[in-house]
Amino acid sequence: MSKIPRFFTLLLALAIALGSLAGALSYQRAIAAEWREKVDPWVLQTATEQSQTEFLVFLTEQADLSAAETMKTKDEKGTYVYETLSALAESTQKPILTQLDALNVEYKSFWVANMIWVRGDMSVVQTMAQRADVAHLYANPTVPLEALPESDQEALLNPQAVEWNISMVNADDVWAAGVTGEGAVIGGQDTGYDWDHPALKNHYRGWNGTTANHNYNWFDAIGGNAPCPDPSVPCDDNGHGTHTMGTMVGDDGGTNQIGMAPGAKWIACRNMDQGNGTPTTYSACYQFFIAPTDVSGNNPDPLMAPDVINNSWGCPASEGCTDPNVMQTVVENVVAAGILTAHSAGNSGSSCSSINTPSATYDASFTVGSNTSANIMSSFSSRGPVTVDGSNRMKPDITAPGSNVRSSLPGTGYGSLSGTSMAGPHVAGLTGLLISANPALAGNVTLLEDIMRLTAVPITVNPPQVCGGVSSNTIPNNTYGWGRIDAWAAYQLALAYGAEVVDISKTASAEYVAPGESLTYTINITHSTGLTVTHNVMITDVIPANTTFITATMPHSLNGSTVYWSVPDLDVDESYSVQLVVSVNGDATGVISNDDYAVTGDESGVTFGEPVNTPVIAYGLDVSKTASMPYIFNSAYLTYTLTVTNQHPLALATGLVLTDVIPTGTTFVTATLPHTLNGNTVEWNAASLAAAGVWNVELVVMVNPDASGTVENTDYAVYSDQVSSVSGAIVSTPIETLGVTLYANETAFAAPGETVTYTHTLMNSGSITDTYTLSSVSGEGWTATVNSPVTLGPGENATVTVVLTVPADAVDGTVDTLTVIATSQTRDDVSASVSNTTTVASEPGLMYWFYLPTVVWDE
């Protein structure tokens, strides 16, 4: 029999063990799932399939570079951005680098974004992903250069001194005006560059006409390998990069005028190894352009940064860039440094939303589509909107020639290539021309982009294409953006920058605003100076941070976060106004700042308005209470008045609930209707309370007969749909007592016609100061006077004098009872009295007894 319990004991132990094991396994699976969520699927897959993989460790803490927006010059912006980014990386990466050293793995630290490139196995992946200071592990795949479309019959066109694509966008007209790009620096990251090509050599910043100095002008992110073994010398192992740079600056001084800005200087970075790049090599080049270094990658100097970077490459998901945000922070940081980043839209064809690879998808990138010599869209040019990241962002921004573009090839030759890779360099070159025409534009990325947008030429699309619900007949659109660049028109607008002949101002509909409310901005422009009409006026306004667009004066267009209004021609002294309506986000705090709005015109240039700051005032309620009396007595009624105030000066408060708990020592009597009484809690409800409005209710209680001390109302509060519970200050009402003592009784004799004075002591035996009314009543109806009223503090006493007049016809022996009464003026049921007895005697000072002799008569 002893075996049966033992058997069940073993079963129980086994069940407990299995349960513990299941719990442990479940916990381990949860932990694994948590860190795996931070890792790009490509990294997990390659770490499983291979002994090692590459990935980018993206730290949680990233730099806030918003202060750069307010800086005036490109040098200021670049220096601030470099110093801020490098300082953050220095201060936050040390613990991770120490751990990587301990793991004995290969890594490279970056500051262009706060991230680290790592090569390691799955255990290293897990170790990095489990760190709290790591936000994400991005893939770092090798990305082949996108295949270029085949050239068509246009490639047979004979070379011209000025190539067709250059003249199509009117760059040669800008040269004729004496502007060829002098003073501007153009950067390019690509397969490399044949720096001493006849069309490029004299435009390379590292060549002074005699010797070459590649420091701060060249960086090889690949590190050098065949056929480019020396990373300190520019080299192109593919030809793609050399072709793009020719379109930017190329000119051999003879018949090969192939570049947009032949007077500009160029610097470069090699980001691909025989056409294969990675997010790491792209990022390394971006970092170089923010603060160029010597050829060994040391001693960065942001003052050597270019004005614009051309990026004729992409990183498709099909090659491993499965996360579209892999380089978003990097690109945004480059733009914050005042560097315009031109990105080719891609060659995925004419279907909608085919712009789907970093970095062309980003809002910070100036994305370029391709057109043909017939001013129609190239069939290979990718279209928007961007859907891969869920943004539905309108792209491309602009278009430029990209079909059969003739440019430089490695060696000394030239050739025609097609692709958006050929279109992007036109925009980089045009940026150089604009900065050369007006150096004040350097570092002002948004303005440079706007100038190119506003002067773009529409492209023929027949039949019209509708992408993202926007027809190509509408400008801008997702087929060609704002249109094909026009260098001459952009140059004229750039020259006008700073003329400020059209003033612009803005007012907000309220001095302050609440979260969730709408805010209406009225923008006014006035042609304040000048002699002629200003044509093609355009108003732009950027939706303020922490707000959401609602509507605007029609007609308008909305591109990303910028609203555009095309205004009729504006005559001298003529004014025009538009409105923008936004909703303040529910979590907004601080100030809504609308500081990025401007007006442009053909003759007036660009004028920016002064910032309009609208404080965000949070919703607030206040509740207070007053008692009807400063003190109270037992069995008396006490009335409380509760006051709720909506502290917001503009916003309605809704769904208000006010509660009050009946004070201890009291009994509920009544309250303002409607109300509910639940136990000892009274509740009132109000559907709404106007801005700065006041809501009053009353509560009446009776102080219990046995209560003592103080009645304290401590628990009352209010809340609403917008505000959590707010309590009021304690209201204390002392329970006081009333009392009076009058003493003592006296007697006296008085003759008819005399007066009798009685003196008594009156004492306040209560707890508060009180005033007493003194009165007297003569039993015989005689006249008496008494000093009244008398005010006494608690415990104080006073002498009360009563004067009684005995009537002249009073009969001896008459006895009068004079009652003196002291009555509280606070409550007439509190009183005291004394009695005075007065006897009438003709001679009140003497008492006579007459003794008659007894006479005995003897008869």
Catalytic residue numbers, as ranges: 190, 240, 421
Q: Is residue 623 within 8 Å of residue 717, measured between CB atoms? A: yes
Helix, strand, coil percentages, rounded to 5, for the chain: 20, 35, 45
Helix axes 240-249, 420-437, angle to 10 degrees: 30
Question: How many angstroms separate the Cα of 349 from the Cα of each of 362, 494, 771?
Answer: 19, 33, 101
CA angle 200, 424, 255 (to 5 degrees): 35
Closest CA to 243 of 295, 194, 311, 292: 194
DSSP-derived 3-state class of residue 688: strand
CA angle 635, 638, 643 (to 5 degrees): 165
Closest CA to 147 of 84, 33, 238: 238
DSSP state at residue 336: H
Comparing CA positions, the residue from 348, 389, 384 lying closest to residue 367 is 384
Please, where are the H alpha helices in 142-295? 164-168, 171-176, 240-249, 279-290
For the record, the structure tokens of 125 come out as 């992946």
Distance CA(131)–CA(135), nearest Å, equals 8
Reduced 3-state DSSP string for 9-33: HHHHHHHHHHHHHHHHHHHHHHHHH
SS (HEC) of 807-844:
CCCCCCCCEEEEEEEEEECCCCCCEEEEEEEEEECCCC
317: DSSP letter: G
- Given a contact cutoff of 8 angstroms between Cβ atoms, the answer to whether 342 and 373 are in contact is no
Length in residues, the chain:
859
Residue 436 belongs to what H/E stretch? helix 420-437
Nearest in space to 760 (alpha carbons), one of 779, 795, 788, 739: 788
Count of beta carbons in the 10 Å neighbourhood of residue 1: 4
- Residue of 799, 817, 816, 802 whose CA lies nearest to 758: 802
Phi–psi pair at 59, nearest 5 degrees: -75, 155
Nearest of 822, 823, 776, 784 to residue 806 by alpha carbon: 784
